[in-house]
Amino acid sequence: MRPGPGFPGPAGNRPCTRSKNAATTFLSGNADYSIIEMAVHIALTSSIAYAERPRHRLDICRPSDAIGAPVIIFFYGGAWRSGNKGLYRYVAKALARRGYVVVVPDYRIFPEVRYPDFLEDGALVVRWVKDNVARFGGDPKKIFLKGYSAGAHIAAMLSIDGRWLGKVGLRPRARYRGSNRHRRTLRLHATAR
């Protein structure tokens, strides 16, 4: 998944490079300097409230020097019955190393709530991110929604069905990109009404 040597990162950041044996070197205890450098430059802010309920918390992982970086909101899966943001911190760190500000929210799950409450929580996350991400080095005009399994459903519905973001005063403009019909990235341009 990592871009190869000399491949530019997002928003014109420095090119991403990695030695062939970086993972092996890192695991064997002989630390590769580039991996240490990446780890040092990642900042994590955890358990920020985006609404009032106990599961309405999010983590933000970002390059410590981020300014106007693109933002990814990653919704995890779990059949809307399980999961938590801490389990996907590795995803946030991997994306932050590539220059993104990454938001991983918790959302309420079954049996506390039922569908479509998950989507409403997702919309609250997008609203909070749109209003606050600049304080963490993100660009509120470059928000991407991504997810895994049930979380991918949340990301897709927020991007293509305007009623969910409409409830929080935003409206989606979704663009679909991908190398084929099975692999798509949803890019959200949320605009205030």
What is the per-residue pLDDT across 140-173, written as a single tens digit (0 to 9) for each? Answer: 999 999 999 999 999 999 999 999 999 999 987 6
Quick one: pLDDT band at residue 174, thresholds 50, 70, 90? low
Query: Is 96 a domain residue?
Result: yes
Q: Does the residue 5 lie in any domain?
A: no
Assigned domain for 66 exists: yes
Q: What pTM, to 2 d.p., does this model score?
A: 0.72
Task: State pLDDT tens for residues 86-121.
Answer: 999 999 999 999 999 999 999 999 999 999 999 999
163 within some domain: yes
Share of the chain above pLDDT 70, in %: 68
Residue 143: which domain range?
42-192
d(CA 103, CA 129): 8
Q: What is the CATH number of the domain that holds 49?
A: 3.40.50.1820
Residue 23, in any domain of the structure = no
26's enclosing H/E stretch is helix 22-28
Percentage helix, strand, coil for the chain under 3-state DSSP, each rounded to 5:
35, 30, 35
Whether residue 185 lies inside any domain: the answer is yes
